[in-house]
Amino acid sequence: MKSGNNSKIATLMVHTSPLDQAGVGDAGGMNVYVVETAKKMAQAGVSVDIFTRANKPNLPESVEIAEGVNVKHLVAGPFEGLSKEELPSQLGALTSAFMNHQKQLPSNYYSLLHSHYWISGQLGWMVSEATSIPLIHTMHTTAKVKNLNLAAGEKPEPHTRAIGEEQVVQAATGLIANTDAEAASLVSLYEACPDRVFVVAPGVDLQTFSPADGKAAARNRLNIAPDAIMLTFVGRVQPHKGPDVLLKAAAEMVMHTPHLRAKLAVVIIGGASGSVNELEKIKSLARFLKIEDITHFIEPASREVLPDWYRASDLVCVPSYSESFGLVALEAQACGTPVVATAIGGLRTAVSDGISGSLVDGHDPKAWSAVISRLIMEPQRRLLLGMNAVEHASHFGWEGTARKTLDVYDWALSKKANSKLRLAGDA
């Protein structure tokens, strides 16, 4: 799997397409993770085919998104109207579609399978057993961790998902976790063998996400007032991401400090996720809190425009209830903007508390209001945090993520080779 040997990897992410806009529906940080890592692997000489379920009719069988990186569409179930929760019913069809694709290729065409999220892991498990191709799996989120940290009124993940995750953990040759904390949860909650769990931190595109020409220029491009106090949320609008926490904190702030209302701008960048229109719920909450005049809802931004939104912000807020890592926090810091985030999961790694931003225990709007208010009133501290944020983010490039992932692939392939040697010796 070393650079230049023209190896090929089959990446499985069937519940969401890498071609979809991040921040809408089921497309989020995982989409960015898979695409960016694949690009860096391809640059190192390891080609990647990303298999996803066709979610629209008449999609091409294959789409090249970068040299050496192709998206392959598997046809399974109805093209539209099938929720993520219903996808397990199509695992047989997905397996058949993949195996039919595989039959058209030379033997050993793919050196390794890498599945992302548990549904893809189930597909990877079946394909791996049928082909003897090693399987590496990355969970990104797990039912057991998510259910330990639910938002108020949020529906727990079903027990069937936890069972499916347990099966994938046992079936995979190796597991990749984003942080030490996630690795520990795989061992403690899923009984993963510690020797098969590897920690590989996600990255950030440090060329695209950078301070560039600064806040003032970004605000000018986005037509934002120079003196606005801008608090930004970026991500899918769903209870687990906690946008309501930011709105409630903002309401607390203007209640205690009324003069803030004239300059405060709360910006929610993202689309609804799931079958219920959470975006309408969060808009209704802004009206209920009487802050609709200072709350601005922006469509999900492209990767080209998103950095300006980060640069233009005074603070980027990530009030999630759990995150395996938190790419939004890393992207914002790379652009020179401090982050206020929940002290949970991978956000403890993504944000350096007191250095590149602030971590808040829990989701009490009063606590969030207090932390945000202090940072707003201390522009010099924000400036220092922003400078430190750029330095902190600089240690998380996608090149490092790809390189460490390839090291895990090498481990899996050597494990397979050693197994063959032992079998030959036994014979």
117-169 pLDDT tens trace: 999 999 999 999 999 999 999 999 999 999 999 998 899 999 999 999 999 99
pLDDT score at 422: 54
Nearest C-alpha neighbor of 7 from the set 94, 139, 114: 114
The predicted-structure confidence for 175-184, as pLDDT tens digits, reads as follows 999 999 999 9
The secondary structure of 137-171 as a DSSP string is EE-SS-HHHHHTTPPTTPPPPPHHHHHHHHHHHHH
Residues 352 and 231 reside in one and the same domain: yes
Three-state DSSP state, 380: helix
Contact residues for 245 (Cβ-Cβ < 8 A; gap 6+) = 319, 363, 365, 368
Q: Tell whether 262 is covered by a domain.
A: yes
pLDDT score at 3: 44
Q: Do the Cβ atoms of 183 and 189 come closer than 8 Å?
A: no
Q: Do the Cβ atoms of 8 and 46 come closer than 8 Å?
A: yes
pLDDT score at 416: 77
Residues 330 and 247 reside in one and the same domain: yes
Residues 379 and 322 reside in one and the same domain: yes
Contact residues for 213 (Cβ-Cβ < 8 A; gap 6+) = none
> How deeply is 421 buried, as exposed, middle or buried, from its count of CB atoms within 10 A (0-12, 13-18, 19+)?
exposed
E strands of 187-298, at which residues?
197-199, 229-234, 264-269, 295-298
pLDDT score at 49: 98
| Residue 342: both structure tokens together | 């929940």
pLDDT score at 23: 62
Alpha helices in 73-158 (DSSP H): 91-103, 118-131, 143-147
Residue type for position 225: A
Q: Tell whether 406 is covered by a domain.
A: yes
Residues 51 and 72 reside in one and the same domain: yes
| Residue 55: both structure tokens together | 């979610």
Residues 51 and 65 reside in one and the same domain: yes
Q: Tell whether 64 is covered by a domain.
A: yes
| Residue 400: both structure tokens together | 């490092």
Total structural domains in the chain?
A: 2
Cα angle, residue 93 at apex, residues 92 and 99 outer, rounded to 5°:
90
| Residue 371: both structure tokens together | 């932390």
pLDDT score at 415: 85
Residues 237 and 352 reside in one and the same domain: yes
Q: Which domain holds residue 329?
A: 214-393
Residues 193 and 251 reside in one and the same domain: no
Three-state DSSP state, 133: coil
pLDDT score at 6: 59
Q: Is the dihedral of CA 111, 115, 120, 122 positive or negative?
A: positive
Q: Tell whether 3 is covered by a domain.
A: no
Contact residues for 378 (Cβ-Cβ < 8 A; gap 6+) = none
Residues 125 and 236 reside in one and the same domain: no
| Residue 61: both structure tokens together | 């069988």
Q: Do the Cβ atoms of 352 and 362 come closer than 8 Å?
A: no
Q: Do the Cβ atoms of 177 and 197 come closer than 8 Å?
A: yes
Residues 340 and 414 reside in one and the same domain: no
Using only the alpha carbons of the chain, give its radius of gyration.
22
pLDDT score at 60: 94
The CATH number that applies at residue 50 is: 3.40.50.2000
pLDDT score at 29: 84
Intervals of the chain under pLDDT 50 = 3-4
DSSP assignment, residue 397? B
Q: How many CB atoms lie within 10 A of CB 208?
A: 15
Q: Tell whether 176 is covered by a domain.
A: yes
Distance CA 386, CA 338 (A): 5
* Number of residues written out for the chain: 427
Contact residues for 358 (Cβ-Cβ < 8 A; gap 6+) = 338, 339, 340, 341, 351, 371, 375
Q: Tell whether 2 is covered by a domain.
A: no
pLDDT score at 426: 57
Residues 127 and 183 reside in one and the same domain: yes
What values do phi and psi take at 21, rounded to 5? -70, 120
pTM of this structure: 0.91
pLDDT score at 28: 77
Q: Tell whether 90 is covered by a domain.
A: yes
Q: Do the Cβ atoms of 339 and 267 come closer than 8 Å?
A: no
Residues 179 and 42 reside in one and the same domain: yes
Residues 165 and 43 reside in one and the same domain: yes
pLDDT score at 418: 72
Angle between helices 180-190 and 159-171 (to 10 degrees): 100
Nearest C-alpha neighbor of 96 from the set 74, 116, 70: 74
pLDDT score at 421: 54
